[in-house]
Chains A and B, each alone.
Chain A
């Protein structure tokens, strides 16, 4: 059992805000259920595609893959982040939410939406029903799901919108009482993240509500695959930052305190979140480098914007490591690198977050390969790509969330974590398992092994490995996936057993103040209207011409897309302005045609 020495005598979040703590608990529990189910499907998938153990027919592989993807990157991550954001907003504003019934309403919508989508996905295992959603997490056309899936997604996203509004309401109420104060850092991070989310979800909302759902219901005969794909990626890349930004929030505001020190710079943290708000969305086309129908110039713009996005991540690496070093030196660490030993490595919350950050660096390097237009062709649609995002969302985000749980859970339950040694073993096991699995995925990707394939061995075909063998790499992938599953079991069990821990008081963990406070930064950083406006302008600049050109070339609901690469739209006889006006007239004609 965790030692009572953890008690600080400080009132916990649950002591101070019991109603909000209940919402945080519900959100975290929902996310852990999704994590467990997602891990089961992940293990099935890893053992199936490596041919280690197959108990399902390969026709169900996409059902398994969809369940793994949606449960992990939609349900686990987003339920966890609304829990953390609720905690962070209430804690940093030091006031309760405006109306707890409203808060439960958005949680309920998210839960209902998730259940609908999961039922639709699991229906794929029952051939006798017409319910299925084997469309993967990347659910754009031409693959079609049951309306229940799209309806569930729409309701889930509406729930997140209302959650964001909840945080803005709390901030607005706080602002009335503190008109001259800077926005507290955690609330600032929550609000900028939600603004980014509002912009990003424009794309997926249009894709789902205007095209995919009516198409699934039979109201539309066809949809334009390229258009829905582009709208999906309008959301599909910034959603990566929606997962990452709560991890950043934890790295910036919790990790320094756990390290025994203080955040190096509050202003730098604000700059980073503003940069994410500005740059997260106008980059989605970098997922479409091999798509015909989008001119190369637009892809070049997306690549340039993506490379700019490295800046806030590099700033974060500097600020967080500097904060950790400050903490280590406060604890007595000395020397050029000797301070590393002074960090609290026996604390699973610290070790998990630090290892997550380490793996994120590796994920950043492989991400640069994905983002480069020319070198992307080498790895596009290979298993390299899952190797990359298992380092980013699968470790930087997931491991940070699990590690942070060991710190946060006692504060929202007033019950210590069941076992600290198991927690430490769990985060280390995740690190080793992911290193094995991700390494195998990256290397196999370089050898051309495809992603999203139940039997990449095909009929006796084997890929040529430049060293070792493909069999060896498959075994490495399977071993890594198994270790990750065991790590998940340890995590979920540890949290579940913690509910039996004796209730204690004084488990609150105060967060330290930054070395350089908000007062050191210009007030314009807190002008959310300004940054939201600039972000919208950037999105319009990045997307209006590509979307206009897609609609002009291939219609709004026309399934035929010309399979030819394009250099510039002018080559088609369409200048940029005429492309936009032509697309606009088509949209108007379509709306007029639908509305009687």
Chain B
């Protein structure tokens, strides 16, 4: 196990945010569930920030990569 890289945290947080936010549209359009927009948005931001913070301080860790990451 090892800490995530800053680039990985940035990208992962962005994708996580988009996935969570799209879920609100899916719930509304497909399931007819009208979630509170403000609460959902703030909740999404808090959750993404928590995950990003946890990864950056080592609260969570990602599986070790068995190679030397190259900068190409």
Interface on A for B, CB 8 Å cutoff? 3, 5-6, 258, 260, 331-334, 338, 341-342, 344-347, 350-351, 421, 424-425, 428, 431-432, 435-436, 439, 442-443, 446, 466-469, 472
Contacts and interface: CB of A to CB of B under 8 A. Distances in A.
Interface residues of B, number: 31
A428 B71 contact: no
B18 A443 contact: no
B65 A342 contact: yes
A342 B64 CA distance: 10
Interface in B14-48: 14-15, 17-18, 21-22, 24-25, 27-29, 32-35, 37
Contacts of B66: 332, 334
5 contacts: A332-B67, A332-B68, A346-B7, A424-B10, A443-B28
A347 B37 contact: no
Chain A residues touching B, majority SS: helix
In this complex, the member of B7, B28, B69, B71 whose beta carbon has the largest number of chain A beta carbons within 10 angstroms is: B7
B28 A338 contact: no
Contacts of B35: 467-468
Contact of A432 (B18, B24, B63): B18
Contact of A425 (B10, B22, B65, B68): B10
Sorted nearest first, the 4 A-B pairs with minimum C-beta distance are A332-B67, A467-B28, A346-B7, A467-B34
Given A6-B71, A260-B72, A342-B67, A431 B14 contact: yes
A422 B22 CA distance: 26
A345 B32 contact: no
B58 interface: no
Given A258-B72, A466-B28, A467-B29, A333 B67 contact: yes
A115 to B, nearest CB: 37
A341 B29 contact: no
A331 B21 contact: no
B5 interface: yes
A345 B7 CA distance: 7
A425 B9 CA distance: 11
A334 B33 CA distance: 39
B63 A428 contact: no
Given A258-B72, A334-B66, 10 more contacts: A6-B71, A331-B69, A425-B10, A431-B14, A431-B18, A432-B14, A435-B18, A435-B21, A468-B34, A469-B37
A339 B24 CA distance: 30
B21 to A, nearest CB: 7
Contacts of A338: 63
A38 B71 CA distance: 33
Contact of A344 (B32, B34, B37, B72): B72
Contacts of A432: 14, 17-18
Interface string B42-65: 000000000000000000001101
A351 B63 CA distance: 20
Contacts of A469: 37
B14 A428 contact: yes
Contacts of B15: 431
A258 B70 CA distance: 11
Contact of A346 (B5, B28, B63): B5
A178 B15 CA distance: 47
B62 A341 contact: yes
A341 B71 contact: no
A347 B72 contact: yes
Contacts of B63: 338, 341
A468 B5 contact: no
B10 A341 contact: no
A436 B5 contact: no
Contact of B65 (A3, A341, A442): A341
